[in-house]
Chains A and B, each alone.
Chain A
Amino acid sequence: TCSVAIFLGSGGHTSEALKLASALDFSRYSPRTYIVSEGDTLSAQKAHALEHIKAAEDDHFIRPQYTLSTVPRARRVHQSLFSTPPNAVKSLLACVYLVSICPLVKKGAFRQPFADLLIINGPGTCAILCAAILLNRLIGLPSPRVIYVESFARVKSLSLSGKLLYHFADRFVVQWPDLVQPGGREDYRGCLV
């Protein structure tokens, strides 16, 4: 099995991320961690709903293996980019705690990353999560593979998170053909959600 973390960025990002998660074989990709932004109860509810649907589909009802983690938002919707940095720092500290500190102090999980795989699709806070993962990589701590899936809403140009994480993600996935650059590293397979 492979442990997976899925970042739920609220609004359309959450819907898409959960759709992507629903495509996975939950017996293979287990346990799952859903990372939500502080105060985003809607995303948390939707994650619980998906887990229950998936468990119900399974013939032998195994108790769903998942947890929810919360991190402060790096940037609120409509917030100006200029005023974002202080929020981003607070968010980074929480992500470092989640990504670096928690796995280190967890019993029986020596040198295990907080997840084998991280699936992200924006918005800004997931870039902070990746910054924490980058720190892990720089200091030699175990870190997850990162798959970034650009939103289905991005047709002609990448989102800000997409631009920031283009080179960082182990796999960079787009859902519209115009986003594939000649010689680029975009993985295009049509609409995934």
Chain B
Amino acid sequence: MEGNVILLLLIYWRPPKVIPSRASLKNHPMLVFVTVGSTRFDALVKAAISESVLSTLRDFGYNHLILQRGNSVIESEEFNGESCTIQRHGVDIETWRFKSSIQEECEQADLVISHAGSGTILDVLRLGKPLIVVPNPTLLDNHQEELASALHTLGHLKATSIQDLASTISSFEPRDLVPFPPFDGSKFSKLVDEEMGFI
């Protein structure tokens, strides 16, 4: 009887799989880029520099955060002036308001956390970067919610709320995301040519 049990164990037992942490998969410190777009999203900025989010990011190997804050207000005294760099909860934080293009930051980032503006979403998805979006509920109709949900359902990104941001970061699996199709200008080009009588 015991012999059979031992035999079964030998055949079927496998040692537990060691899942490497995201940081050990990469041999460089990981960068997270947080962007609120061209308007104002105080709640996301506040969450991004909060202890719970920063410590979660640090635990998952992100120790550099770049925060593009637009017209948002940061109430903390540590952050003063248009742009600054400080360290908080083990994460190096660099923040500024606007840049003519955030392409470089998105390209360098290992993770992007963004308001759910369609332009930013499309740019980041087309760069193939892992994306977590937080809809900005203060905009007219709360319209960001619809796009965030639709793309979340299609598996292209993870949509979350301010309250759930830290837990979303910790359960985030970039490998499970579905790639977004590349830009196809011919669709619009054809439509316009039809309307203007070229076709």
Chain A interfacial positions (CB closer than 8 Å to B) = 2, 10-12, 14-16, 19-20, 22-25, 28-29, 42, 45-46, 49, 77-78, 116-117, 119, 145, 147, 149, 151-157, 159-160, 170-171, 173, 176, 187, 189-193
Contacts and interface: CB of A to CB of B under 8 A. Distances in A.
A171 B149 CA distance: 27
Contact of A11 (B101, B119, B149, B187): B119
A110 B160 CA distance: 55
B117 A24 contact: no
B104 interface: no
B140 A15 contact: no
The 6 closest A-B pairs by CB, nearest first: A23-B185, A15-B119, A153-B118, A155-B146, A12-B119, A23-B188
A81 to B, nearest CB: 8
Given A23-B185, A159-B141, A171 B196 contact: no
- Residue of A14, A155, A157 most packed against chain B (CB within 10 A): A155
Contact of A16 (B101, B118, B187, B192): B118
Given A23-B189, A24-B189, A16 B195 contact: no
Contact of B188 (A14, A20, A156): A20
Interface string B180-199: 01010111110110011010
B188 A11 contact: no
B35 to A, nearest CB: 12
Interface in B99-133: 100-101, 116-120, 122-123
B41 to A, nearest CB: 11
B37 interface: yes
A2 B117 contact: no
Interface in B142-166: 143-144, 146-147, 149-150
A116 B197 CA distance: 12
Contacts, number: 102
B98 interface: yes
Given A12-B37, A12-B117, A12-B118, A25 B189 contact: yes
Contacts of A11: 37-39, 117, 119
B188 A192 contact: yes
A29 B150 CA distance: 34
B170 to A, nearest CB: 28
A46 B140 CA distance: 24
B1 to A, nearest CB: 61
B118 A147 contact: no
Given A29-B192, A159-B143, 9 more contacts: A12-B119, A16-B119, A19-B183, A22-B185, A23-B188, A152-B118, A155-B147, A155-B150, A193-B183
B135 to A, nearest CB: 10
Given A10-B38, A23-B185, A42-B100, A153 B144 contact: yes
B198 A28 contact: yes
A31 to B, nearest CB: 15
B192 A24 contact: yes
B141 A170 contact: no
17 contacts: A2-B198, A11-B38, A12-B119, A22-B185, A24-B185, A49-B100, A78-B138, A145-B196, A152-B122, A153-B146, A153-B147, A155-B149, A155-B150, A156-B146, A159-B141, A171-B195, A191-B181
A176 B100 CA distance: 29
Contacts of A23: 185-189
A29 B189 CA distance: 10
A42 B98 contact: yes
B139 interface: yes
